[in-house]
A and B are shown apart, each in its own frame.
Chain A
């Protein structure tokens, strides 16, 4: 059984916010007092103005749409293949012993190194980002699915069978609730790495997307606007991760 995470309380929350405020203050002092070159580090206030401008004009929309579409496609693929393949691998001890170390081994290498290969195969457009994001996020999902379904208490399965549980009953009322907390952790991890690898690969080789736009601004030496976009992407990423964590918590309760 899962225990609810303990809350940090008002004091802990104050420390967290204070830490961020100190960082912001250091940024401000570095540019306004200590004379750090504005081409290297823009002033936070000008970044703020640029951010408001980006939001007002809505010019981010085409790039955001590209990035989110890539993310949705990549995540749907890895979610489908990861959970289905993971489930079937988990059905026998033999397939677990064969495939679990194999997947874990591949997961441990930096798959982003294959980006040039993905670009050769799928082009500079969204397809190569989708393929890379799906590949990278497949592994945490498949591994957690194998672990979740593979470690269900045998006594519970035997008890259910002895009471006449059908295959559907066994899956719905025993295997799924036992495995879901583990699988949801892997799914959240998969979502995070999908987002990271898609934005990352957009900065390396692409024609559109938020990562691509940030690199363009950097190449144009438009530092305040580039920083505004970084803040925007960080906010989007935090929002998406928040939504996924919320859904994960809901899913645990449902099981």
Chain B
């Protein structure tokens, strides 16, 4: 891949919280470089605290890294870029005092979409996620899975080239996750969006991603990148295929050592003081 094809270029990004010597000091991310191609779905997976969410926030301009830089659409990221990037968070990012359709409209208002387009775009994106009938419900009246669909509709209505998803299904039960994953794969295969998707789930990563970036234990960096060569939209049968199982096992082996490392480190840190 030449760097011109890259929708997102990450160069030597490191991040630490607090100052060296502080009690709260954490080196979250160490010298990470990565190119993410236009239209690609890249999953970030790794042990807890490996800095994958930090990297996502750095890409989205919500955090300034201690070192290194990120370019999005050829421009260096210095803050939120609402025209280029939409976020989907783990949960509770819908405004509870607004209905679903009001939430979608507010996103467009914030981004600066002309008022005349709000109605058609809101309708289109709610239909895309299958929530058209629930437009006038409040978030509290919907299930966790439906709320995440609504958050996805809000992000889609912004029509950005890039979608950053921070464990969007992390708070949902296994069955709901599976269905949402399948729907997401279908939905996204129709768009040309570049997507970075943080997850804890090996299966979710293999099922959704074009490439999976496996992170090392803290301070995290990309340990290995696994390619998933399977056309989109992914079919439910893919989950039971040998290819899926082989990829999942490969990921598991890579992650297992890192998770062990994380666990023993936190145990010794606790024992030592």
A interface residue numbers (CB < 8 A to B): 1, 153, 155-156, 158-166, 169, 173-174, 177-178, 255
B83 touches A164 (CB 8 A): yes
A158 touches B62 (CB 8 A): yes
Binds A, one of B93-101, B208-216, B237-245, B248-256: B93-101
A165 touches B110 (CB 8 A): yes
Which residue of chain B lies nearest to A162 when distances are taken between CB atoms in the complex? B87
Cβ-Cβ contact count across A and B, 8 Å cutoff? 59
In Å, the complex CA distance between A164 and B112 comes to 8
B82 touches A162 (CB 8 A): yes
A163 touches B110 (CB 8 A): yes
A161 touches B62 (CB 8 A): yes
Which residue of chain B lies nearest to A153 when distances are taken between CB atoms in the complex? B92
Q: When each residue 84-111 of chain B gets 1 if its CB lies under 8 Å from chain A and 0 otherwise, what string results?
A: 0111010011011110000000110111
Select B89's contact among A1, A159, A173, A255, beta carbons within 8 Å.
Answer: A159
B106 touches A173 (CB 8 A): yes
Select A156's contact among B61, B87, B93, B109, beta carbons within 8 Å.
Answer: B93
Whether A162 contacts B106 in the complex (CB less than 8 A), given A155-B92, A174-B95, comes out as: no
A1 touches B97 (CB 8 A): yes
A164 touches B89 (CB 8 A): no
| Across-interface contacts of A165 in B (CB, < 8 A) | 110
In Å, the complex CA distance between A255 and B110 comes to 18
A1 touches B95 (CB 8 A): no
In Å, the complex CA distance between A158 and B93 comes to 9
A169 touches B109 (CB 8 A): yes
B95 touches A173 (CB 8 A): yes
In Å, the complex CA distance between A156 and B110 comes to 13
Which residue of chain B lies nearest to A181 when distances are taken between CB atoms in the complex? B97
| 8 tightest A-B CB contacts, nearest first | A164-B82, A163-B110, A165-B110, A159-B93, A162-B87, A177-B97, A164-B111, A164-B110
CB proximity of B148 to chain A, nearest CB, Å: 13
In Å, the complex CA distance between A166 and B79 comes to 13
Main secondary structure of the interface of B (DSSP, over half): loop
Q: Which among A158, A159, A166, A255 has the highest number of chain B CB atoms within 10 Å? A: A159
14 A–B contacts from the bound complex (CB under 8 Å): A1-B140, A153-B92, A155-B93, A161-B80, A162-B85, A163-B82, A163-B86, A163-B154, A163-B158, A164-B83, A164-B111, A164-B112, A177-B98, A255-B97
In Å, the complex CA distance between A164 and B155 comes to 12
Whether A1 contacts B138 in the complex (CB less than 8 A), given A162-B80, A162-B82, A164-B83, comes out as: yes
| Across-interface contacts of B138 in A (CB, < 8 A) | 1
* B60 contacts partner chain A, Cβ-Cβ < 8 Å: yes
Further pairs besides A160-B110, A161-B62: 13, Cβ < 8 Å: A155-B92, A156-B93, A158-B62, A158-B87, A158-B93, A162-B60, A162-B61, A162-B85, A163-B82, A163-B86, A163-B107, A164-B110, A177-B95
| Across-interface contacts of A178 in B (CB, < 8 A) | 97
In Å, the complex CA distance between A169 and B110 comes to 7
In Å, the complex CA distance between A164 and B107 comes to 8
Q: When each residue 53-97 of chain B gets 1 if its CB lies under 8 Å from chain A and 0 otherwise, what string results?
A: 000000011100000000000000000101101110100110111
| Across-interface contacts of A255 in B (CB, < 8 A) | 97
In Å, the complex CA distance between A190 and B9 comes to 55
| Across-interface contacts of A164 in B (CB, < 8 A) | 80, 82-83, 110-112
| Across-interface contacts of A174 in B (CB, < 8 A) | 95
B62 touches A156 (CB 8 A): no
In Å, the complex CA distance between A165 and B95 comes to 13
CB proximity of B192 to chain A, nearest CB, Å: 21
CB proximity of A67 to chain B, nearest CB, Å: 37
CB proximity of B86 to chain A, nearest CB, Å: 7
In Å, the complex CA distance between A255 and B98 comes to 9
